[in-house]
Chain A
């Protein structure tokens, strides 16, 4: 790939990763806590019990702190699209712009309007109207996430568009194909699910800390019941939506699925590696073992990827070198088709300059035919289609392992809170406290799987990251990278400090 200098690409990539990962430290708690607060307020309105009002207001204040610190951190990514990823931004055209515009309007009208009622309206509007506002804030936050994830889903599986060589942009052919793409829907459900789990872990963790300190124990126990019940339901939902995400990856991003599992040689009735260490010397096409010390769950990968325990799951060797038996086209063949698409674009451009309508029509026909392979034309060698395996593999296994732990934790906490006296189980309480950061680690690991696993593509099959980046000064990108690193770290410290101060005041301590 005769791309631009790799230093610039790496820094642009690192900057985007930094801002996205930091942004996602704030987002999931907003998504999850908004619903938990709405549930708590619903119990208050139903029962009329003032303690539930106190509990609701406490968690609502923590929700507000997180919301305020996190708000606008996502805007930075929009700055980066215009500066560091200008080629990408132009190429995606209105496909990206439309969902983000809908998100902006929804966020402004739903969240901003009802947010004010939620915080300022306690003694000024009726109980019912206040409750509706709280629910609408939760729904609004989650709808905002939907539109952003639609845009991201399109990058993983570009559908519902036509490439226009005159404007050099992808134009939306079907809004609904873009909005309801199975990848986008699976991504949305799995991402909001992770937010709900983080919200639940946050509530049981903080409540556990209060119980350990002997503060507001009754209110903390009540919070734990809501947090653990919600957490148990949503962590099971998260596992189901994760299954759908893996199924979609198998259909549309098989190299990502193979990297997630460190699968080099494809096989029928493929198992999932529950635990294992990747062989760092393993290369595409050799006979070295891929994973050491692995414990495998038989048939699970075939079932996860194709919902059939006998299905063949292609490995990285098959995807790079091709596999005739299973009808898998190798990367070299796709690269040839990609080159034809790029040459057709070149021919279209030349024909347009001299206004040769016949040549333009011929070039357009060829371009349309080979456009699905367009991005492959920029790759230098077939192995370029392989994402960073170690990072994808370990992130995936950390995410899944933690997901299983969360289900167990919610189950234990719910049982002990409902059927026993959880205040006597100090180890479980401490485990609940220490599971708060684990929720964030799992969510960030999930994003690493999604985005690192998509490499080398900015847009799957259509545009590699090196082509998407803008030719700008790498020094500028480095400076802004460190400025963001400092700014976000300061914001994170501020959030933690303000949160801890508020938690120290206690549930009954005021708002």
Chain B
């Protein structure tokens, strides 16, 4: 079997599967909405990666942490 035939078969396998879904369509919609809220709203507005956004280099991040670990004790 040629590679193009295999790829076509795999694509049709998924297309047919999605077409014939009943409850699955509702679930995919729910997954889509959920991912949109998680990444489009929550991650974007509330969950920046603190060290990545505050410091430019790994060295600066290490410095932050060593300051934090030694300062908190004083």
Q: Measuring CB to CB, which residues of chain A are less than 8 angstroms from any residue of chain B?
A: 1-3, 61, 64-65, 68-69, 71-72, 75-76, 79-80, 82-83, 86-87, 89-91, 116, 119-121, 124, 165-169, 339, 342-343, 345-346, 349, 377-378, 467, 470, 472, 476, 479-480, 483-484, 487, 491, 494, 498, 502, 510-511
Q: Contacts A79-B42, A79-B47; is A87 near B65 (CB within 8 Å)?
A: yes
Establish whether residues B17 and A116, one from each chain, have CB atoms under 8 Å apart when the complex forms. Answer: yes
Given contacts A2-B72, A342-B69, A470-B50, 19 further A-B contacts (CB under 8 A): A68-B30, A69-B27, A79-B38, A83-B48, A83-B50, A86-B50, A87-B69, A89-B51, A90-B65, A120-B20, A124-B13, A168-B62, A168-B66, A342-B73, A346-B73, A467-B69, A480-B46, A487-B34, A498-B26
Q: Name the CB-closest residue of A to B70.
A: A346
B9-66 contacts to A, CB under 8 A, are 13-14, 16-18, 20, 22-24, 26-28, 30-31, 34-35, 37-38, 42-43, 46-52, 58, 61-62, 65-66
For B37, the chain A residues whose CB sits under 8 A away are 487
Task: Give bound CA distance, A121 to B10, whole Å.
Answer: 11
Docked Cα-Cα span, A170 to B46, in Å, equals 28
- Across the A-B interface, give the 4 residue pairs with the lowest CB-CB distance, nearest first: A120-B17, A79-B47, A82-B49, A86-B50
Contact present for B65 and A72 (CB under 8 Å) = no
**B residues within 8 Å of A by Cβ?**
13-14, 16-18, 20, 22-24, 26-28, 30-31, 34-35, 37-38, 42-43, 46-52, 58, 61-62, 65-66, 68-70, 72-74
Q: Is the CB of A83 within 8 A of B46?
A: yes
Main secondary structure of the interface of A (DSSP, over half): helix
**Residue of A whose beta carbon sits closest to that of B47:** A79
Contacting pair B47 A82 (CB below 8 A) = yes
Q: A76-B42, A377-B73 are in contact. Are A167 and B17 (CB under 8 A)?
A: no
Say yes or no: B68 contacts A345, CB within 8 Å: no
